[in-house]
Structure 1
Amino acid sequence: MRQVSVMQQRHEMVLAVRQRGISVSGAAALFGVSRQTVHKWLARYDAEGVEGLGDRSSRPLVPSGQVDGGLEQRVVQLRTANPRWGPKRIHAELVRRGWIRRPGRPSGGSLPATD
């Protein structure tokens, strides 16, 4: 039995669809992956060639909860100067000083109906 790398398997799958005319469903069944995965590898192969078939990190490019360094320093500054202030007061002060924008109103769909 020969050892085949994951990248080689993906390349064989792409060639099976592109050159041998195997359907996407057939290739998915043959290689034990979903049809969506076959489409993903075909698109990456078309865009980047064989190099596009390598593994990629699923880590986001920008952390969703990370604030910029300047805002973090301002929060620490306010917290140090006013240790009794909680998160609501610090947020209100950041808005008051213009360091952050006030969040918008929620959409009407989330408000209770009034008569």
Structure 2
Amino acid sequence: MRKYKFFSANIELQQKWLNAMAQDGWRLTEVKRAFYYFEKAAPGEFQYEVVFVADKSNRGYTDYVTFLEDKGYRVFPKNINLNYSVGKVRIRPWAKGSGMLSTFPGRYNKELLIVEKTNDGNPFEI
């Protein structure tokens, strides 16, 4: 197992880096606040997409994750590395309605989704 630390709020940069890791034969197994854990895999076996989901309500987020998992994708929640918080409440100015507040342990630090699919030669269709 390999462990990497990666800091960036840039979604495209994270996605590019994850796909480069996959091309080098590493599969994402776990994501924690600033750490990514990988296991050895066949080079290019997996593809990754990083999706911004902080603007969704808790219900919308849950429905979206279920939709992705039903398509056969693996999903890893990830923080965006931006911190507008007071105690255990995070303010998310980019969200709408009740999604503007995130509390611990709810969707706190889960502003992004890293989505994994087996590389079948077809592009991601989320």
Q: Which has the higher strand share?
A: 2
TM-score for both structures, normalised by structure 1: 0.19
Bigger helix share: 1
The structure that has the greater radius of gyration is 1
